Amino acid sequence: KDTLIRTIALTKKVIVKHCSKPAGCSSPEESLRLQKESFMDLADTIIDLYKENDYDYIIMNRFHYGEMIYGQMYRNENPDDIREMIREVDKRLTSNVRQEDIGLVVLTATDPSFFSKNEDGLSLSNGKQDLIKKEMATFWDVFHMSLIPNKALIYVDDGKGNWNDPVTICTKVARLF
C-alpha cells in the first residue's frame, strides 16, 4: 500500500489519512463505538477536503473496511454491527461525494502464501496461513458489500511469486477515475 501511495504521490497532489486500532478499550462494543465515531469524523473530513478541491486524491489508508477484518478477527466485534457501521460510513460518503470521484481499491494476492512469504513482521496475522486466508476472504466479502460504486480488486503479484510493478498497479487504480 505504501509503495502504491508513494507512486501516486509522484505525479498527483494527495493527502493521506491513516486509521489505526482504538486504544484502551474494555470491550468489543466500546471498541466498535470508538471506531465508528472515528470513521464518521474522518468521513466528514473527507467530504470537507473534497469540497475544498485542493487535492487530486484523498487516500484513506486502513479506513472503515478494515474493521470488518481486524475488529471481527482480533477484537471480537460483532460482524453484523460492523456491517451496519460500514454501510453508514459508505452512505455518508456516497451522498456527499460525486460517484465518479470516489473509489475503493483493495490490494490482494493470487495466493495467501505470497503474503506470508513477504511478511514484514508488522501484520496481525504475522505470516500465519490460516489467518491470512481468513483476512483475504473477509476483504473479498467486504469489497463486494461496499456501497462505493467505483472499485477494484487489484492483485499485487503476478501469480508466480513476484511483485507486480507499482506503475502497473497505479495504472489500474487510475482507471477507476
Q: Are 142 and 69 in contact, with CB atoms under 8 Å apart?
A: yes
Enclosing H/E stretch for 14: strand 14-18
DSSP designation for 68: I
Q: Give the rounded percent of residues in the chain with a pLDDT score beyond 90.
A: 59
Residue 169 grid cell: 498497479
**Helices 79-94 and 28-52, axial angle in degrees (round to 10):** 10
**How much is the pLDDT for 104?**
92
pLDDT tens digits, 118-177: 777 667 666 678 888 999 999 999 999 999 999 999 999 999 999 998 888 888 888 877
Neighbouring CB atoms inside 10 A of 27's CB total: 11
Say what the pTM is.
0.88
Q: How far apart are CA 63 and CA 77, in angstroms?
A: 16
pLDDT, average across residues 17-23: 85
